[in-house]
Amino acid sequence: MTEFDFVVVSNRGPFTLESRPGGVVEFRPAAGGLAPSLSGALAEEPMGSGSGVLWVASAFTEADRLYASAGAVATGQDTLKLRMVAVTPEIGRAAYDVIANGTLWFLHHGLFDHARRPCFDRVWHEAWEGYCQFNEAIADAVAEQAATGATVVVNDYHLALVGRYLAKSRPDLATAFFTHTAFCPPEDLAMVPDGPRLELMESMSCFGACGFHTSRWRDAFVRCASAVGVEAPATFVAPLGADPARLDEVAATVACRSRLERLEAELDGRTLLLRSDRVELSKNLIRGFLAFDELLEASPQWRGRLIFYARVYGSRESLPEYLAYRTEVEHVVARVNERWGESGYVPVVLDLEDDFEATVATLQRYDLLLVNPIRDGLNLVAMEGPAVNQRDGVLALSREAGAYDELADVAIGLNPFDVTGTAAAISSGLSMSLEERRVRAAELRRRARSRTPAHWLAEVRRAARVPGQRGPRAWGQAGD
Ligand code: F6P
């Protein structure tokens, strides 16, 4: 079995495999979020004398599952091999739906509606067992294929327990765990039952180092460890960057140019307010539409002249909360359109198609980009927008997004819970002088293009270490 010097691990891999007629299997790039960023960074990895990089990920589709027994498979990218890990559908659902997305995601983003949830009952405790088994299966695949002393970078809350299994089976490995989400404060972690809470913090502390997008989430993690009496491992801060080269490449395609032309025709000279997100509770779509409604009410001059384009695509639709949220989003949009629409003017365009060329076209064209998450690890859209925008567009950004820490002085900050305040932030952004727009947009663009996923990956790789070794600090580390 080939042994790899560098292994990256994430729940969702870079490709989803689809079976086509005639036994053909198609590798389709994964949409949105971490996978494309990590793929971009890995494409720049030098082959060196080793065997390249192994990406270990969870099998989602039937075709993924078929490939799981094939070990490390070629991906078409010279330096990269992929190893899919399949667990039973029951374990998969318990780990992904119940624990990762239904519990840890809600916990870290402050999304629980405390009168009803969380509810840690027998079913939940059984699901926790599934989460443990899933993490163990992923750790076993890594342990099987990592060379002696290899570096292993594990991503996100789906895989928080991998550290403890690896520390046991492969203590020679240099490991880092990177959390792309926010991290909850100890008061929220206290809701999790004692056993799982301790397991979670102890397991994260079994990695050589734990990394976060901002010092806010890192500090919360360290406080959580201390609250349960666990010694935190080395920690580091390394924000992910947009991928300007990839965005420029997409912007230059015929598909993207034709979408931009179509958009211009639709806008017909109107001002464009844009959001670009998954249909996701933490992204705070509904308050964004309510703010737009208040803006049109308070500022009649925008009626008929401002279009709110919401490029959003479905996410995690196996969870009832997400399905209900999507329905609620559709209702709110219908209400706003009914109230302010007129012949030839649809105020809110809800575009649910997952089409990256269309996303890049709208990012190039916006006058104001609204990014108002309730809480967000970083929010890459806040970087991608300014990186490709061509109209000195304004960024209205939630103070609860990790990206705000880097962009506070050039974006218009907003409180994501304050609908009236969000309407005011949009209004002040739209009435900003051209000169101020130009100056801010130039600085936003400079910052958004200065860091790439390759910078991020190099820093995470440098921070990885054998558990228990507290060697020199990695970039951006303020304290262990
Ligand atoms: O932001 C956290 C994250 O887990 C990303 O790593 C990922 O790209 C995104 O959420 C999407 O998650 P899912 O795989 O559930 O669609």
The tens digit of pLDDT for each residue in 427-469 reads 999 999 999 999 999 999 999 999 999 999 999 999 999 998 7
Residue 49, pLDDT > 80, answer no
Q: How many domains does the chain have?
A: 2
pLDDT score recorded for residue 312: 95
Task: Write the burial class of residue 179 (CB in 10 Å: 0-12 exposed, 13-18 middle, 19+ buried).
Answer: buried
Residues with CB under 6 A from ligand 1: 12, 32-34, 156, 180-181, 315-316, 377
Q: What span, in angstroms and rounded, lies between the C-alpha atoms of 315 and 278?
A: 6
Contact yes or no for 273/292 (Cβ under 8 A): yes
Q: What span, in angstroms and rounded, lies between the C-alpha atoms of 396 and 422?
A: 8
Please tell me whether residue 478 adopts helix, strand or coil conformation: coil
C-alpha angle with apex 269: 266 to 273, nearest 5 degrees? 75
Confidence label for 23 from pLDDT (cuts 50, 70 and 90)? confident
The 10 Å CB-count burial string (b at 16+, else e) for 413-438 is bbebeebeebbbbbbebbebeeeebe
Quick one: 270 and 230 in the same domain?
A: no
Q: What span, in angstroms and rounded, lies between the C-alpha atoms of 318 and 101?
A: 10
Q: What span, in angstroms and rounded, lies between the C-alpha atoms of 171 and 466?
A: 7
* Nearest C-alpha neighbor of 188 from the set 111, 73, 267, 257: 111
Tokens coding 172: 């020679």
| CA 117 to centroid of ligand 1, rounded, Å | 22
Give the number of the atom of ligand 1 that is nearest the alpha carbon of residue 35: 8
Contact yes or no for 333/345 (Cβ under 8 A): no
Q: Which residues contact 179 (CB under 8 A, 6 or more apart)?
A: 156, 157, 210, 211, 212, 213, 217, 221, 377
pLDDT digits (tens, 9 = 90+) for 394-433: 999 999 999 999 999 999 999 999 999 999 999 999 999 9
Whether residue 474 is contained in a domain is answered as no
Quick one: 440 and 321 in the same domain?
A: yes
Q: What is the pTM of this model?
A: 0.95
Residue 478, pLDDT > 60, answer no
| CA 157 to centroid of ligand 1, rounded, Å | 10
Calculate the average pLDDT of the chain.
94
Confidence label for 473 from pLDDT (cuts 50, 70 and 90)? very low
Residue 8, pLDDT > 90, answer yes
For a substitution probing ligand 1, which of 39, 97, 180, 214 has the most ligand atoms within 8 Å of its CB? 180
Query: What is the percentage of the chain residues whose pLDDT exceeds 90?
Result: 83
* Nearest C-alpha neighbor of 108 from the set 243, 282, 242: 282
pLDDT score recorded for residue 472: 45
Quick one: 296 and 385 in the same domain?
A: yes
Query: What is the percentage of the chain residues whose pLDDT exceeds 70?
Result: 96
Please tell me whether residue 413 adopts helix, strand or coil conformation: strand
Contact yes or no for 50/7 (Cβ under 8 A): no
> What single-letter amino acid sits at 397?
L
Q: Whose CA is nearest to atom 9 of ligand 1?
A: 33
Paired with 278 in beta bridges are 313
Write out the residue range of the structural domain in which residue 162 sits: 4-241+454-463
Please tell me whether residue 228 adopts helix, strand or coil conformation: coil
Q: Whose CA is nearest to atom 15 of ligand 1?
A: 316
CA atoms within 13 A on the CB side of 478: 10
Contact yes or no for 381/288 (Cβ under 8 A): no
Whether residue 151 is contained in a domain is answered as yes
Quick one: 275 and 237 in the same domain?
A: no
Quick one: 145 and 101 in the same domain?
A: yes
Whether residue 184 is contained in a domain is answered as yes
Quick one: 268 and 341 in the same domain?
A: yes
| CA 36 to centroid of ligand 1, rounded, Å | 11
Whether residue 368 is contained in a domain is answered as yes
Residue 273, pLDDT > 90, answer yes
pLDDT score recorded for residue 366: 98
pLDDT digits (tens, 9 = 90+) for 206-227: 999 999 999 999 999 999 999 9
Own/partner long-range contacts of 342-345 (Cβ < 8 Å, ≥24 apart): 342/304, 345/304
> What single-letter amino acid sits at 330?
E
pLDDT score recorded for residue 15: 85
C-alpha angle with apex 359: 312 to 297, nearest 5 degrees? 55
Quick one: 267 and 355 in the same domain?
A: yes
Q: Which residues contact 90 (CB under 8 A, 6 or more apart)?
A: 130
Own/partner long-range contacts of 259-263 (Cβ < 8 Å, ≥24 apart): 259/355, 259/357, 259/358, 259/361, 260/361, 260/364, 260/365, 263/309, 263/361, 263/362, 263/365
Cα end-to-end distance, the chain, whole Å:
37
Tokens coding 160: 């928080």
For a substitution probing ligand 1, which of 11, 12, 134 has the most ligand atoms within 8 Å of its CB? 12
pLDDT digits (tens, 9 = 90+) for 171-214: 999 999 999 999 999 999 999 999 999 999 999 999 999 999 99
pLDDT digits (tens, 9 = 90+) for 319-349: 999 999 999 999 999 999 999 999 999 999 9
Backbone angles phi and psi of 413, in degrees to 5: -75, 150
| Residues shown for the chain | 480
Give the number of the atom of ligand 1 that is nearest the alpha carbon of residue 10: 6
Quick one: 221 and 266 in the same domain?
A: no
> Span 375-381, mean pLDDT?
98
* Nearest C-alpha neighbor of 245 from the set 455, 70, 462: 455
Give the number of the atom of ligand 1 that is nearest the alpha carbon of residue 315: 16
Confidence label for 50 from pLDDT (cuts 50, 70 and 90)? low
Please tell me whether residue 198 adopts helix, strand or coil conformation: helix
pLDDT digits (tens, 9 = 90+) for 231-256: 999 999 999 999 999 999 999 999 99
- The CATH number assigned to the domain holding 13 equals 3.40.50.2000
Q: Whose CA is nearest to atom 11 of ligand 1?
A: 33
Backbone angles phi and psi of 6, in degrees to 5: -135, 125
Whether residue 344 is contained in a domain is answered as yes
Whether residue 472 is contained in a domain is answered as no
| CA 329 to centroid of ligand 1, rounded, Å | 20
Quick one: 366 and 443 in the same domain?
A: yes
Quick one: 73 and 202 in the same domain?
A: yes
Q: What span, in angstroms and rounded, lies between the C-alpha atoms of 446 and 410?
A: 11
Q: Are strands 80-85 and 146-155 parallel, antiparallel or unpaired?
A: unpaired
Paired with 209 in beta bridges are 176, 234
Quick one: 171 and 277 in the same domain?
A: no
pLDDT score recorded for residue 476: 39
pLDDT score recorded for residue 47: 53
248 φψ region: left (φ > 0), alpha (ψ -120 to 50), beta (else): alpha
Whether residue 475 is contained in a domain is answered as no
Whether residue 20 is contained in a domain is answered as yes
Q: Which residues contact 159 (CB under 8 A, 6 or more apart)?
A: 9, 10, 11, 135, 138, 177
pLDDT digits (tens, 9 = 90+) for 84-127: 999 999 999 999 999 999 999 999 999 999 999 999 999 999 99
Quick one: 191 and 277 in the same domain?
A: no
